[in-house]
Amino acid sequence: MHSLRRWSVRHAAALHSWYGWFSRLAPLAAPLLRRLGTARAEKLVLPVERGAKGLMFDCQMCGQCVLSSTGMACPMNCAKQMRNGPCGGVRADGNCEVKPEMRCVWVEATDGAKRIAPDHRAHPTPLLPAIDHRRRGRSTWVDVVEGRSAPVFQPPVGERVTPEAEQSQFERRCTSGERVVTVEIAPPDSADPQPLLARAEIFRGLVDAMNITDGAGGNCHMSSVAASAILATRGFEPVYQIACRDRNRIAIQGDLLGAAALGVRNVLCLTGDDVSRGDHPQARPVFDLDAVSLLHVARTMCDRGEYLSGRKLDKAPDLFVGATVNPFVPPYLDRIANLEKKVAAGARFIQTQFCFDLRAFDEFMREVRARGLHRRAHLIVGVGTLASAKALRWMANNVPGVAIPEEVLARIEAAPDQKAEAKAVCIETIRAVTAIEGVAGVHLMGHRNEQVLAQIIVESGLREPPAGADRASRPA
Ligand code: SF4
């Protein structure tokens, strides 16, 4: 089946022009369809459509076909059901994060889209909302005859701007033009908030906001909404990370309202890592939304004051909404189109995956500037370190979406003090990326490595040590 799927991508240009003819001629059959009745016509068409599209495209019959804009690769074969572009976990060889034996559907889609329109620089698909599961198994050909196409959502940007006095501290910092520093904090495996507060305390006065991960790596921890609310009540500035892996659109909208009611003002929309690498690999992944349709949900609630269903909210949440981008995995430069799409969908800040490859990042930023994306969203670069080359190599091999060039690993491996060398690489990276035009700041990550990250913030010159810093627990 995979080989036929790839044949269709290789012949995407011919299939696309055939489909163009089909969609132009199909409405001519509308009077016949009306005479038969839609239900009876669908009964006749469905087995033919299922057989033909199944054979040619490994089509999953979602009932909202976008094959003609995804380079003839059915996005419903994606293990996370991504409909708006690739996830950040694509492997270096272009294979799927979840099914390593399969080529990433979006790498194929990009390939097919380029065969259809080699110079096309925008994302191949329009802004697609969350899928309507009621339409699964239904015919799209009947829709084409009746002149209907897959639903598209409208970009919300420009509908509503938060007045400066009402912006979150993090948003104010981003819009001030001053360098932004954020840090990632993993919530504890505890019903006691103290370990969380102790981790946050290390960064008091050193960062503008603290990202609270949401079941990172598919592992169970205290909920990110609860951990974010705990930090907000203690005067910290949390960024609530919300992933599509564990909740459907009903739960996610409830959580967004709950977070806002508890004083959380910043949200990072993520698709999320698959469950297969986490501590509950037997769990069922949800992926009712992808990162782009999640942005649509969040901005619909904030800008229009309504649920995705259209039902009005009594009070709209006021959230500073962001998203992620990973320039370091395939389909490399095409990630720009994906970023552009997230910005169009309403992301006002962007945080990247770990940057260890300055050459790749520089190239990425050139295109970001060429498209003016750095003026439409605040771009914050992910940086970090671990204690040894072995730990970094493990991360590169086991954490989806992390790519570390061999020369960086070799440099750390050869050093007499690997921990110090890894730290030096991180500081050099910070200095290099913050000198690049269009970069708003850095986002520090490093599992349970808070003390070292705090030292890096000071030693790299990002921040002065806070007045009265306790030398035992703060950077030297
Ligand atoms: S790598 Fe990600 S986007 Fe690509 S097919 Fe796998 S889950 Fe989908």
Tell me which residue has its CA closest to atom 2 in ligand 1.
Answer: 87
Any domain includes 159: no
241 and 294 part of one domain: yes
Tell me which residue has its CA closest to atom 4 in ligand 1.
Answer: 104
- CA of 273 from ligand 1 middle (Å) equals 10
Domain boundary among 145, 173, 195: 145
172 and 130 part of one domain: no
pLDDT at residue number 126 = 87
Alpha-carbon gap, residue 371 to 128, rounded angstroms: 22
Any domain includes 34: yes
pLDDT at residue number 332 = 83
227 and 95 part of one domain: no
Tell me which residue has its CA closest to atom 6 in ligand 1.
Answer: 96
pLDDT at residue number 469 = 63
Which string of DSSP letters, residue by residue, matches 187-198?
Answer: PPSSS-SHHHHH
pLDDT, tens digit (0-9, with 9 covering 90-100), for 124-154: 788 999 999 999 999 999 999 998 887 888 8
- CA of 132 from ligand 1 middle (Å) equals 20
Please count the structural domains in the chain: 2
182 and 120 part of one domain: no
Mean pLDDT score across all residues of the chain: 92
Any domain includes 473: no
141 and 169 part of one domain: no
Q: Which atom of ligand 1 is nearest to the CA of 85?
A: 3
Any domain includes 59: yes
Any domain includes 24: yes
With 90 as the cut, is the pLDDT of residue 100 above it?
yes
With 80 as the cut, is the pLDDT of residue 64 above it?
yes
Tell me which residue has its CA closest to atom 3 in ligand 1.
Answer: 86
389 and 435 part of one domain: yes
With 60 as the cut, is the pLDDT of residue 474 above it?
no
pLDDT at residue number 475 = 44
* Closest by CA position to 337, among listed 70, 23, 59, 46: 70
Any domain includes 39: yes
- CA of 85 from ligand 1 middle (Å) equals 9
pTM of the model: 0.94
With 60 as the cut, is the pLDDT of residue 267 above it?
yes
* Closest by CA position to 429, among listed 449, 450, 444, 451: 444
Tell me which residue has its CA closest to atom 8 in ligand 1.
Answer: 78
Choose the residue to mutate in 104, 270, 292, 324 for probing ligand 1, maximizing ligand atoms within 8 Å of C-beta. 104
Instruction: Detail the DSSP E strand segments found in 248-368.
Output: 266-270, 320-325, 349-354
13 and 123 part of one domain: yes
* Closest by CA position to 252, among listed 288, 227, 199: 288
279 and 370 part of one domain: yes
- CA of 280 from ligand 1 middle (Å) equals 20
Q: Which atom of ligand 1 is nearest to the CA of 79?
A: 7
Confidence of residue 2 (pLDDT cuts 50, 70, 90): low
pLDDT at residue number 471 = 45
Choose the residue to mutate in 98, 123, 274 for probing ligand 1, maximizing ligand atoms within 8 Å of C-beta. 98
- Which structural domain range is residue 36 located in? 2-145
With 50 as the cut, is the pLDDT of residue 343 above it?
yes
Any domain includes 467: no
pLDDT, tens digit (0-9, with 9 covering 90-100), for 214-232: 999 999 999 999 999 999 9
Residues lining ligand 1, Cβ inside 6 A: 78-80, 82, 86-87, 89-90, 96-98, 104-106
- CA of 2 from ligand 1 middle (Å) equals 15
pLDDT at residue number 1 = 54
* Closest by CA position to 234, among listed 267, 192, 187, 193: 193
pLDDT at residue number 47 = 95
What are the C-alpha distances in Å from 439 to residues 235, 297, 368, 375?
27, 27, 10, 10
141 and 25 part of one domain: yes
Confidence of residue 249 (pLDDT cuts 50, 70, 90): very high
pLDDT at residue number 432 = 98
- CA of 177 from ligand 1 middle (Å) equals 35
Q: Is 354 exposed, middle or buried (0-12, 13-18, 19+ CB in 10 A)?
A: buried
Rg (CA), the chain: 23
pLDDT at residue number 160 = 60
Mean pLDDT within 5-17: 90
With 50 as the cut, is the pLDDT of residue 472 above it?
no
81 and 23 part of one domain: yes
Mean pLDDT within 330-352: 92
119 and 176 part of one domain: no
Look up the CATH number of the domain holding residue 392.
3.20.20.220
**Range in 185-194, 222-231, 253-262, 384-393 the model is least confident about:** 384-393
354 and 430 part of one domain: yes
With 60 as the cut, is the pLDDT of residue 198 above it?
yes
With 60 as the cut, is the pLDDT of residue 413 above it?
yes
Confidence of residue 333 (pLDDT cuts 50, 70, 90): confident
Any domain includes 153: no
